[in-house]
Chains A and B, each alone.
Chain A
Amino acid sequence: DTEVTQTPKHLVMGMTNKKSLKCEQHMGHRAMYWYKQKAKKPPELMFVYSYEKLSINESVPSRFSPECPNSSLLNLHLHALQPEDSALYLCASSQDAGELFFGSGTQLSVL
């Protein structure tokens, strides 16, 4: 099984809302990632968790808050987002620095 599952697939939220994106993998991978992708652009790295500890934060604004409750789950908590944060949010996992596997993403719209 090489599946990374993301929920929800679509999310519309207001600028005062709090919401969470969820990601799950059962491949035994110990590295998990959040990427942000704007239309017609490549994915850009936001956060990396390695062995459930945050190892990379690419200077992401604090209105995005990642959480790794266990080795299979990764959350991204959203609060007070701006319309320019509207994008496709992709979760990925890998075994250490090996092959990266992506979920199908959450299409986020901030109104």
Chain B
Amino acid sequence: GIQVEQSPPDLILQEGANSTLRCNFSDSVNNLQWFHQNPWGQLINLFYIPSGTKQNGRLSATTVATERYSLLYISSSQTTDSGVYFCAVRNKLVFGAGTILRVKS
């Protein structure tokens, strides 16, 4: 089956710092989503991004489907950004292992 790898596995940031999370996948995909799972377990949709670049406030994402990777950019991080970030390859219904982000004030 398709493999989805996320990096880094863990990340600690000082509030206000920027970061880039990466998602690599082993096969062609029809679409890809980024989620933020908050400490209460809720999976929040960040981006539905099969290809190209999207931006939403301090967050942006880029997927290069031909090279089989996607990037999530977080700028000016806040403590509320803490949690686990997952990418999921939708047409294969597979999640990556996630990146645990902790933002310190």
Knowing A42-B86, A42-B98, A48-B93, the reply to whether A97 touches B45 (Cβ < 8 A) is no
In the assembled complex, B60 has its CB within 8 A of some CB on chain A: no
Any chain B CB within 8 A of the CB of A88? yes
Q: Tell me the interface secondary structure of chain B in the complex.
A: mixed
Task: Check: B48 CB closer than 8 A to any chain A CB.
Answer: yes
Which residues of B are found within 8 Å of A48, using beta-carbon distances? Answer: 93
A101 to B41 Cα, complex, angstroms: 14
New A-B pairs, 15, CB < 8 Å, besides A33-B93, A97-B91: A42-B86, A42-B98, A44-B95, A45-B93, A88-B41, A97-B30, A97-B31, A99-B90, A100-B33, A101-B45, A102-B35, A102-B42, A102-B43, A104-B40, A104-B41
Residues of chain B within 8 A of A56, CB atoms compared: 93
Which residues of A does B touch, CB under 8 Å?
A: 2, 33, 37, 41-45, 48, 56, 88, 90, 94, 97-102, 104-105, 107
Can you show 13 pairs from A to B with CB atoms below 8 A apart? A41-B97, A42-B86, A42-B97, A43-B43, A43-B86, A56-B93, A97-B30, A98-B31, A99-B33, A99-B48, A99-B90, A102-B35, A104-B41
B39 to chain A, nearest CB (A): 12
Shortest distance from the beta carbon of B42 to any chain A beta carbon, whole Å: 5
B75-103: contact bitstring with A at CB < 8 Å (1 yes, 0 no)? Answer: 00000000000101011011111100000
Cα A107 to Cα B88 in complex, Å, equals 22
Q: Once the chains are docked, how many angstroms separate the CA of A45 from the CA of B33?
A: 15
Nearest CB of A to B38, in Å: 10
Are A100 and B90 also in contact (CB < 8 A) when A42-B95, A42-B96 are? yes
Q: Give the residues in chain A near B30, CB-CB below 8 Å.
A: 97
Residues of the B chain whose Cβ atoms lie less than 8 Å from the Cβ of A97: 30-31, 90-91
Take A97-B91, A99-B33, A99-B48 as given contacts and tell me if A107 and B41 are in contact as well, using a CB distance cutoff of 8 Å. yes
* Interchain CA distance A100-B86 in the complex, whole Å: 13
CB-nearest residue of chain A to B91: A97
Measured CA separation A86–B35 after assembly (Å): 23
